[in-house]
Amino acid sequence: MKKKKSVAVGLAATLAFSAFTPVLAAENPAGAEKVSYNAYSKAPNFVSGKLSAASSKSAKEIVFEYLAKSESTYHFGQDIAKSVKVLSEEKDELGFTHVKLQQVHKGVPVYGAIISGHVDQNGVLLAVSGEIVPNLPTKKALQNSTRVKKEEAVQTALADLSAKIGGAPELEKAAKPAFVIYAKEGNVSFAYEVEFEFLYPEAGNYHYFVDATTGAILESYNQIHEAKPTAGPTQLTGTDTIGSGKGVLGDTKTFNTLTNSDGNYLVDRTRGNGIFTYDASNRTRTPGSLWLDADNVLNASYDAPAVDAHSYAAQTYDYYQDVFNRNSYDGKGAKLVSTVHYSRSYNNAFWSGSQMVYGDGDGSTFIPLSGALDVIAHELTHAVTDTTADLVYQNESGAINESISDIFGTLVEYHFNNNPDWLIGEDIYTPTKSGDALRSMADPTINGDPDHYSKRYIGTSDNGGVHWNSGISNKAAYLLANGGTHYGVNVTGIGNKKAGDIYYRTLTVYLTPNSTFSQYRAAAVQAASDLFGASSSEVASVKAAFTAVGVQ
């Protein structure tokens, strides 16, 4: 069954703040705080409780005062003002203010080390989520001088990448190295972070970390889901019109188009900054040609993948807008760009770093991948994750990343009543085999995936098991929405709507780049408490769902 994952929906990213490690939970003597620690780094990754008294001070002041008093917990090793930089301070619909902080040392950001303080409407700090690297001022490696220039780091990384993929990549944009502190498994280094986005000679979005002192490559990984999007295509002039056409499965759809003297383009200007659909003509150059049709009726078989890509992108946009008041994946109306007919017999779909890309499949393993709403919603949810929690795509945080996309891919399918179920990719996978799917959320073991934390994969394949171990979270989500008994634990279902609300708040408010499963549980409990009350039945169901899959 592992062979299926080599063609699993979406390609992968990589990087770990720490490998799979147990997490310890402790409470302070006064009982006011509950602290979850990462047992490997000894750093807290979720603190909750009444962490401060009610105050009329700004949320930033409240968070800074708490952190300054919590040196024995966090071990910044220096004044808090020198240890963090404010990235954002945002108020949500519940009246909470969320202060997101980047850990820094000597002004240099620590890659992936983000913490967020969460202050309620009464000025009470209720939680601090995320993990920092403790005791940075004592790290000898950070006392060394840097000798490697950023241009040298780029060339070192590019040479390694070219050897990996069998040729020099044609970059979608110039690489811009960033100077960071890179931490992994207790080691820290000054490093250059370099990103390469490309679609030729194969698709990839590789992240490299090059030691700024030695020039050695510290880490490299394909993070194709996690890239930052570009501006998208130039706006066209014309009239907004409605087209129709048949999708991959033969169903008829209507969708927004733009009509001018050229004909009818697959351009939807009614949502955010637009939805644009392109044709790669079975080549590997993107975005390709903006889809143009003569009569606004797209019923030919070649049209079908474009019809679905365009329509389902719009439906995914509508789900996030209508349910969560989120304007596109970034909340700011970002353009949604899709390319269909990518390459020949290409068995994948992915977020390239700038857009969505869909292969036609080989007709045996897959039919055109844009033909499944849950696939498109899955991939675009990776973009939502990228612009919120920014979950690192390796090990536990990567498995959470994958599961969040599966969860919302399924919820979008249910929202539009599109033959909904708790299977992933069933509409376009192995067309000659009925009932088959890439993954089952109701029973992950059908595909050889774990349904309990005790059975998690702890090797290095699949970026540390990001697709396989997503089964743990997927099973919890299924139980939370539907109820059931698993490993002797009974879970009372709360329905898709409430489950979706909890997972959305968990993702956009409480998860941070290096979240572990234990932090994930604490985040979901806190999100449910915010929405329904700490003593609610919904919170009880969240706790039971995570307990049922062995996450404490």
Catalytic residues: 379, 467
Cα separation, 425 vs 322, whole angstroms: 24
The answer to whether the Cα torsion of 519, 521, 527, 533 is positive or negative is: negative
Phi, psi dihedrals of residue 111, rounded to the nearest 5°: -60, 125
CA 134 vs. chain centroid, Å, equals: 26
- State the residue for tokens 């050695």: 216
- CB-CB contact of 120 with 529 (8 Å): no
For residue 445, give Cα distances in angstroms to 421, 441, 450, 487.
Answer: 17, 9, 6, 14
Distances (CA, A) of 3 to 313, 346, 429, 455, 466: 29, 16, 13, 19, 14
Q: Which two tokens stand for residue 504?
A: 């959305």
Task: Give the strand pairing for 239-246 and 297-298.
Answer: parallel
Task: List, edge to edge, every strand of the sheet that includes 252-260.
Answer: 292-293, 263-265, 252-260, 239-246, 297-298
From residue 297, alpha-carbon distances to 256, 263, 288, 421 in Å are 12, 11, 21, 30
Residue 382: what residue type? H
CA–CA separation, 393 and 284 (whole Å): 25
Per-residue burial over 352-378, b if 16 or more Cβ lie within 10 Å, else e, is bbbbbbbbbbeeebbbbbbbbbbbbbb
Enumerate residues 6+ apart whose C-beta is below 8 A from 28. 35
For residues 47 and 56, the answer to whether their CB atoms sit within 8 Å is: no
Look at the chain and count its residues: 552
Strands 239-246 and 178-184: unpaired
